[in-house]
Chain A
Amino acid sequence: MLADWKRKGDILIVPLKGELDHHQADKVRDFLDRLLEDASIRHLILDLSDLFFMDSSGIGVFIGRYKTISKRGGQVCITNVNTQLHKVLELSGLYRILKKYDTVQHAVDGIRRVSV
C-alpha cells in the first residue's frame, strides 16, 4: 500500500493506498517513521486519494505522526479525503490538529504561506 513518496524541500508527501485498518496500521506506521528519521523533514502531507477505507486504527497512526512533526514545528496535512474518511476524521476531532486540503498542491501552498 506504500510507495511513491516525494520530497518538496522540507515537505514529505506520502500517498496512502487501499484500506487503513488495524492490520495495515503497523506497516504504515513503520514506513512513515522510517522516512521521518530524516530530521530535515519538517512537514508531512498524507495524500488520501487512493485510500478507500479507514477505521479508528488510522486515527492512532495520524496522531502518532502528528506528535513527531509538531515537535519539529511543522504541520501535518491530509488531501483528497473521501466521505467515509471524512466521517471518521471529523468524529475523532482530528481536524483540530490536521489540516485538510483538496489537493497536494493546495497543501504545499498552504504550508509555504504559513512558514514564510
Chain B
Amino acid sequence: MKVKNEMRLEFLSRSQNESFARAAVAAFAAQLDPTLEEITDIKTAVSEAVTNAIIHGYENPNEMVQIITRIYDTYVEIEVIDHGKGIEDIELARQPLYTSKPELERSGMGFTVMETFMDQVEVISAPGQGTKVRMIKYIGNEERETERE
C-alpha cells in the first residue's frame, strides 16, 4: 500500500520526553480521523515502546530515540528505534509479567499492552544491535462504521 504521509522524530533518551513522543505521534495519526479510543490506544503503545527504549535500550539519558510514523489509507505504522544494547531473548521479553528490571518496580506488561492496543507488533532486535519495535494500528474498521450508523 502507498504511504500517504510520513514523519520522523528524534529525541534524547530522557524520561521527560515520553509524554512529548506519544503526544506527537497521536497528533500526526489524527490525520486518519481515528476515534478517541484509537488515539488513546496509540498513545499508550507508543509510551510503552519509548519507555522500553529509554529504560532497557540505553540506560543513559544522552542517546537518541527515533520514531518513524507512516500513514496509509487504512492504518498507521509506527517504528520506535533505539541503537542500545538490544534484547537477548525476544520471546521471553514479550511474555506478560516478565521484566529484566524488577528492582525498578517495572510490571513487565509493556509488550502485552502494545500487543493488546495495536493490531500488529513486530520486534526486531539483537544483542548490541539495538531494538526496533514496529507497530500497526488499523483505523476506522467495520465495527466502528456500525457503531456510527
Contact = CB atoms under 8 A, between A and B. Distances in A.
Interface of A: 19, 21-23, 25, 29, 53, 55-57, 59-61, 63-64, 83-84, 87-88, 91-92
B32 interface: no
Where chain B touches its partner, the secondary structure class is helix
B22 to A, nearest CB: 8
Contact of A59 (B16, B43, B104, B107): B107
Given A21-B18, A23-B16, A88-B44, A59 B109 contact: yes
Interface residues of B, number: 25
B44 A55 contact: yes
Contacts of A57: 51, 106-107
B84 to A, nearest CB: 15
Contacts of A25: 105
Interface string B94-119: 00000000001111111011001100
A58 to B, nearest CB: 8
Contacts of A53: 40, 43-44, 47
Contacts of A87: 41, 44, 116-117
B54 interface: yes
A83 B40 CA distance: 10
B37 interface: yes
A84 B44 contact: yes
